[in-house]
Amino acid sequence: MIVKFICAVVTRSLFLLLSLIGVWRVVWVKNNDLYWLLTILYLPLVVEMILTLKRKQLQDYKWFSPAIFLFLISIIPSLWILELHHQENKATDSRGSVSLLSSVCDNWILALHQILLILLVVGKWLLPIAGGVTRDELSQLLLHFIGTAADILEFTSETLLDV
């Protein structure tokens, strides 16, 4: 029981930490403190964590994880803003010389994407298993997530190269 509690708290804390890093990066890149308002998107995840921790069984749903869904809602706007900002700067950089800043921004975005995908798989593995899911089913599901994550990374990297 205590292991489930610790895993639930650690997973959601990692979700919040990565989302916070994403918002911090947006604020730093855009040089506008109003982007800290993106942290409002953390409230549903915090509420879900409190409600889940109050339940005695600490079990997740069989095929849907509210924590992962709410994590994606909290991180995707930051990634989207960073991608748009990078594309805007890339267009202005193409007229002149390619700057080191553009390369650093691209590395940050790629790192956030990779950490996001790894955290999705590790987070699903750390979250408590629903009652009806066997270890074999969970292993198959996680392998499916890893395959999907690899496809998303490949698509992202190929799309960025084509642009």
Q: What is the pLDDT of residues 95-122, one digit of tens each?
A: 555 555 556 666 788 888 888 888 887 8
Q: How far apart are CA 145 and CA 30, in angstroms?
A: 32
The ranges of the chain with pLDDT < 70 are 56-63, 91-106, 128-133, 135, 156-163
| Pair of tokens at residue 16 | 């919040």
92: number of Cβ within 10 Å = 10
Instruction: Please classify residue 67 by burial: count the beta carbons closer than 10 Å to its beta carbon, then call 0-12 exposed, 13-18 middle and 19+ buried.
Output: buried
Let me know how long the chain is. 163
Instruction: Write down the pLDDT at residue 147.
Output: 81
Instruction: Write down the pLDDT at residue 4.
Output: 78
